[in-house]
Amino acid sequence: MRRAIQFRLNGASVEAQVAPHETLVEVLREEFGLFGARESCGQGLCGCCTVLVDGTAVSGCLYLAALAEGAHVQTVEGAAELDAVQEAFIERAAFQCGFCTPGFVLMTRQLLDEHPDPSEDEIRHYLSGNLCRCAAYPEIIEAVKLAARKRRQS
Amino acid sequence: MKRATQATETPQVGRSVPRLESWLKVTGRAEYVHNLRLPGMLYGKIFRSSVAHGRIKRIDVSAARALAGVHSVVTAAEVKTLVPEPYYGPAFHDQPVLAVDKVRYVGEPVAVVLASDPHVAEEAVHLISAEYEELPAVYDEVEAMTSKAIVHETLKPAGTFPDLKHLKGRSNTNVALDFRLRRGDAAKAMKGAERVFEHRFRTQQVMHTPLEPLVSVAESTDSSLTIHTASQSPSFVRIEIARLLGWPENRVRVRVPFLGGGFGAKLYIKLEALVAVLSLLVHRPVKVSLTMEEQFFTITKHASTFRIKSGVTRDGRIVARDCEVWWNGGAYADIGPRVTQKSGFTAPGPYDIQDVSIDSYALYTNLPPAGALRGFGIPQLVWAYESHTDMIARELGIDPVEFRRKNLLREGRPQATGTRMKDAALEKVLERTAALLEWEKPFDHGSGTVRRGRGLAIGFKACIANTTSLAAVSVNADGSCTVYTSCVDMGQGSDTAMAQIAAEVLRMPTESVTVVHSDTDVTPFDMATLGSRSLFHSGNAVKLAAEDAVRKLNELRAELKLAADTPIADVFRKKYGMRAGSVMGGGNFIPPYTPPDENGQTENATPFWMVGATGVELEVDTETGRVRITRLINVADVGTPINPRIVETQLSGGAIMQLGFTLFEKMLFDAEGQLRNASLAEYKIPGLLDLPAEIVNEAVVAEQRSGPFGAKGVGETATFGVSPAVANAIHDAIGVRLTELPLNPEAVFQAMHK
Amino acid sequence: MLKIGEEERGLSPFELAEPRSLREALALLGADGVRPLSGGTALMLMMKAGVLRPTRLVNLRRLGIDQIERGNGGELRVGAMTTLRALEKSPLLKEWPVIARTLRTLSNVRVRNVATVGGHLAHGDPHMDLPPLLSALGATVTIAGPKGERTTPVEALYAGYLETTLARNELITQLLVPAMGARRAAYLKCTTRSADDWPALGVAVVLDGRKTSIVVSAATDRPTRLASVEAAEGLRIESDLHGSAQYKKQLLRVYLARAIHEARHASH
């Protein structure tokens, strides 16, 4: 029942043999050795499995891989160098165990694409679907604000 | 990047160095066991008990075995062919690798399916059926004291602990441990007291919920075993697995990369015994990764009941305190007996009370096992004694801060065990919390349907004793440094702190130091990463190891007749004629400790005290009972911070986590012991929208003289006071007292209308 | 609530059909074990939990029914495959600000990025936010089936907990929301655990001159219209993990009053 699907992954054209029931996060892990998107709650509530499909953030654990056919899939591993968001997360100590961090980084990029100068309320709402059990939330809010400043300056 | 050979005079301790692994974590490249796949690896999926207490009559695995793609199905029968006595545990050898004869809680592992495809293994699990002869079950910790339902036929304390020996072979009881402390004569003092107050408090069962669910992988040959595991206690895992298999320790290797959170969930044996046995049975690597849901059936935090009684003089001096604490340990003891005892002795709180009596009971029940969760029982105790303290103060008409001041344990005064307080900044922490709350100023209590209140609470903890840490420091030929420790970085930032300590001693930049992750073939013994002990214990061991390395380097310089400030790389070049060699320093840290007598008395109960207080301002919606925290103040004595920034994130993170346990987190069971909310959809943890409007964190100026560079642990400190501070503030707002967690809107509303 | 022992977890194998037209999609539906796949967020959850074990999913994503437009009568027309996020960002929602406000706190951004209006309405979970609001606004849906199209009020879609009046071979194709006109509306929801929890209660209120439309959800097994404010007292509410029936009744009293207040002061 496996079939070949083609898509772009972090800018490169790729092909994968996927079964209809396999999720995007499984295929990224098993076929491409990408571990930045990781399944945690398995219900799309924690954001650890966040990936971008055609530029839009989705929960990779609830997204059938077969539906990525022809799409551009981007993961946290996509960029070669640290961007303003990642730098800001480091500078503001916005993570502890790091398991949720790739999801927060990707969602923050989306937030700043939509709202270059987000209010604290916008930050809290936009990222409310990402959980951090270490509760680095105050530092995450600070990091998002710093990333916004860095982006505006560059 | 700075060159490794560069020496520095800049202090490395006290610097807010970004975590050494920052790049790895923001790019998704940090190593977790979750990522690991080995050639030929099988995935194990667990079939779990559907009854809370029952004798296993029959397990039918035939359909599962027959499913295409299934490699094998394993039950206790197969486990016993390899390990005849397949029971493990840190205090009691009571937990079977897979259920033997009996099941003791809903969700207990009964069988495992192995397959190359985890979906196939999962599918096959559904084809397994089991029949049980159901037995009466007990769920409540107080009922368990006298219940006819007996969870374990006989107690099986681990033989290694002298203080548990008396429990061996006890039967017909659910009391795993009865800790007793007597100081003076509390009953007599109570009789003589002008006022007596007695209250009862309860806490609920909750779960750690690390976002990286428990995961272990084992690979084996007939004579060696490697376990890759998300564990906070690799050294313990090696010892316990070696004991189970009857192997020498050096044939069991335990590797631990980064952890995606721990909080006490990943201690002792969780999946390690299971994957080890499975791998040895099938001669293939085996991985078991739990789902978030399965974590709820693996390890939790104790529900508890605490009866606390105080005798007080009319002017507010506490003269006697009587504490009775029941800990709901669930079906297996895990570290519960140690929680009962090692935290139990602080049950009277940080107050100077002449006559004290404590009884603390570890109980078995038919619920998922409970262990340590960020505080090792302390948050449950502080919840009770700081609510009680506020209730007494208000009854006596004394300001709650003043009442605490009057009774606080001062430096040098003996605590309930008789151990004198040392380097415990209780006064400072209390005063700073009151100051940050502007306690002396009038407070607007709101009006209409929005009432405002404020409250505070202070707690303390004795770091667990008697424990050991070893470390090694290698100074390499280019002057760079490698630290070997079995301390596990589960997010608390220990790698960075250990590197800072080594760098400070070696006078090099922290960035020139790397920390080798736990690998029992490489890194030396460490008791475990728990209870905020690691910065102090492993930190001291690393410091000793680095000092040893410096001593050896200086000996080399002397031998080679080099100046004292000769750069390290030049020393090696001179010695070996080329870039070669290294210097290895060793550190072995065991703080002094005196075991308690039969009354719980000892002159030295702990290597150090942690002190934490919480101040809260909140609003209560009187129509719905909803509580909104507007200000959360966390004040702590952490000694002298090694990395102030990481200390701050630990304080605020710990407090926010405890806020979840305070306001809404709760595992809900039905009358049959079935958990009704085993998922993040139904068991809610705090998110960004639950954050208090304002959070203030402060580490008071303090020094732990026995700590590395004056430092001590911080991981748990901010959790202590949160729950009672919120309850005290709710009382301040609406005059209603809650005595059971969580303080959810319905509980507040019901209390208002009782 | 599923129990250990009864529960079946994990995704089990199924086929994925990819129709290119509505007619093709409809032809594939109807048989046992066949389910339409829209955004898939709720469906995947039910499949992972083993509540649903379909043998074939019919992917609706290539049907192209995702336009948002204003109709000739001033009504809002939303293609069923429009994502909640696309709707939320649509400039047309300036005329239906209550919908935009509701979408902002509906689940999370990732879910809204994927979940569709049609899927959201067809799911039948009473904890969803749009069904009570759209019911109160008098919205209707166009439903396509083997015999052609029919139109039904959103309110009439729900028969019970996770039960809708859609036949297995029918699909929602379009949502129609009448112009707000002079109407003012509010939707309030209340969570009893974390802020991002499923609601314990949802209350939609639409004021149209002297007429008040009230639809309650989450605390009831389906979106339920109240004939009057007083009717709240007689509403059947069950205890669940979010709270006791008695407490949720209190929440209803409070939130109903607050929703009416908010609607009165809303610009629309």
In a domain, B651, yes or no: yes
CA neighbours closer than 13 Å in the CB half-sphere of residue B463: 32
Q: Are strands B481-485 and B513-516 parallel, antiparallel or unpaired?
A: parallel
Q: For all residues of chain A together, what is the average pLDDT? A: 96
In a domain, B170, yes or no: no
Using alpha carbons, list the distances in angstroms from residue A93 to A79, B642, C46.
21, 15, 37
pLDDT of residue C105: 93
Rg (CA), chain C: 18
In a domain, B695, yes or no: yes
Q: Which residues of B touch A91 (CB under 8 A)?
A: 18
Q: Which CATH number fits domain C184-265: 3.30.390.50, 3.40.50.720, 3.30.210.10, 3.30.450.40?
A: 3.30.390.50
Cross-chain CB nearest to B211 (options A21, A40, A43):
A40
C77 pLDDT tier (thresholds 50, 70, 90): very high
Which residues belong to CATH 3.30.43.10 in chain C? Answer: 15-59
CATH number of C15-59: 3.30.43.10
Say yes or no: domain C68-177 is CATH 3.40.50.360. no
B727 and B615 in a common domain: yes
Reference B723, options B636, B635, B662; nearest CA is B662
Residue of A nearest to C89 (CA): A114
B536 and B604 in a common domain: no
Q: Which residues of C touch B675 (CB under 8 A)?
A: 4
Residues of C engaging A, defined by a Cβ cutoff of 8 Å: 11-16, 37, 40-41, 44-45, 48, 57, 59, 61, 85, 104-105, 107-111, 113-114, 195-196
Using CB atoms, which chains have 3+ pairs under 8 A with C? A, B
In a domain, B655, yes or no: yes
pLDDT of residue B166: 84
- Predicted ipTM > 0.85: yes
Say whether B689 and C196 touch across the interface (CB within 8 A). Answer: yes
- What's the CA gap between C28 and C57, in Å, rounded? 9
Provide the sign of the torsion angle of the four alpha carbons B393, B396, B399, B402, taken in this order.
negative
Task: Supply the CATH number for residue B538's domain.
Answer: 3.30.365.10
- Domain-wise residue ranges, chain A: 3-78, 84-153
Say whether C108 and A45 touch across the interface (CB within 8 A). Answer: yes
* The two three-digit tokens of residue B649, written as one number: 């994130």
Instruction: Report the domain count for chain B.
Output: 3
Task: Supply the CATH number for residue B42's domain.
Answer: 3.90.1170.50
* Mean pLDDT score, C147-167: 96
Longest Cα pair distance anywhere in chain B, in angstroms? 85
Inter-axis angle of helices B234-245 and B272-282, to 10 degrees?
50
Q: Is the Cβ of A41 closer than 8 Å to some Cβ of chain C?
A: no
C259 pLDDT tier (thresholds 50, 70, 90): very high
Q: Is the Cβ of A145 closer than 8 Å to some Cβ of chain B?
A: no
Which residues belong to CATH 3.30.465.10 in chain C? Answer: 68-177
Reference B200, options B737, B669, B745; nearest CA is B737
In a domain, B442, yes or no: yes
CA neighbours closer than 13 Å in the CB half-sphere of residue B226: 13
Residue of C nearest to A46 (CA): C108
pLDDT of residue B1: 36
A135: left (phi over 0), alpha (psi -120 to 50) or beta: left
pLDDT of residue B3: 41
Cross-chain CB nearest to B684 (options C5, C6, C197):
C197
In a domain, B103, yes or no: yes
- What's the CA gap between B727 and B740, in Å, rounded? 10
Which residue shows structure tokens 């430092």? B711
Fold of the domain built from segment(s) A84-153: DNA polymerase; domain 1 (1.10.150)
Rg (CA), chain B: 26
Using alpha carbons, list the distances in angstroms from residue C77 to C66, C72, C94, C102, C222.
10, 10, 14, 18, 24
pLDDT at position C2 over 80: no
pLDDT of residue C10: 56
pLDDT of residue B9: 80
Domain finish residue from B269, B289, B309: B289
Cross-chain CB nearest to B26 (options A30, A89, A136):
A89
- What's the CA gap between B684 and B460, in Å, rounded? 28
In a domain, B474, yes or no: yes
Establish whether B716 is a catalytic residue.
Answer: yes
Q: For all residues of chain C together, what is the average pLDDT? A: 93
| Segments forming the whole domain that contains residue B440 | 300-464+597-752
B381 and B321 in a common domain: yes
Beta bridge pairs of residue B420: B414
CATH number of A3-78: 3.10.20.30
Mutate to test the interface with B, among C1, C3, C4 (most CBs of B within 10 A): C4
Q: Is the Cβ of A124 closer than 8 Å to some Cβ of chain C?
A: no
Inter-axis angle of helices A84-91 and A101-114, to 10 degrees?
120
In a domain, B744, yes or no: yes
Mutate to test the interface with A, among B17, B19, B26 (most CBs of A within 10 A): B26
Say whether B293 and A105 touch across the interface (CB within 8 A). Answer: no
Domain finish residue from B558, B589, B620: B589
Say whether C243 and B746 touch across the interface (CB within 8 A). Answer: yes
Residue of C nearest to B662 (CA): C193
- How close A36 gets to chain B, by Cα (Å)? 4
pLDDT in tens, A84-133: 999 999 999 999 999 999 999 999 999 999 999 999 999 999 999 999 99
Selecting among B665, B716, B740, B746, the annotated active-site residue is B716
Mean pLDDT by 10 residues, chain B (754 residues): 59 95 97 97 98 98 97 98 97 97 98 96 96 98 98 90 83 96 98 98 98 98 96 98 98 98 98 98 98 98 98 97 98 95 96 98 98 97 98 98 98 98 98 98 98 98 96 97 98 98 96 97 97 97 98 97 95 96 98 95 97 98 98 98 97 98 98 97 97 97 98 98 98 98 98 95
Question: 3-state DSSP call for residue C72?
Answer: coil
B518 and B397 in a common domain: no
Q: Which residues of A touch C85 (CB under 8 A)?
A: 56
pLDDT of residue B7: 73
* DSSP alpha helix (H) spans, B604-713: 644-663
pLDDT of residue B6: 63
B316 and B277 in a common domain: no
